[in-house]
Amino acid sequence: MYAGPLATWPLFRPVTEAQKLACPVLVQLGERDITVPSRAIEKLARRAPRAVLKRYDVNHFQAFYGSNRASFAADQVAWLKDTVLAG
**Tens digits of per-residue pLDDT, 4-22?**
666 666 666 778 889 999 9
In a domain, 67, yes or no: yes
d(CA 55, CA 24): 17
**Cα(54)–Cα(73) distance, integer angstroms:** 12
CB of 52 closer than 8 Å to CB of 46: no
Q: Evaluate whether residue 69 is within a structural domain.
A: yes
**Sign of the torsion angle spanned by Cα atoms 48, 52, 53, 56:** negative
Residue 2 counted as domain residue: no
* Domain-located, residue 7: no
> Could you give the C-alpha distances from 60 to 9, 26, 53, 65, 80, in angstroms and in order?
19, 16, 16, 11, 22
pLDDT digits (tens, 9 = 90+) for 50-72: 999 999 999 989 988 888 999 99
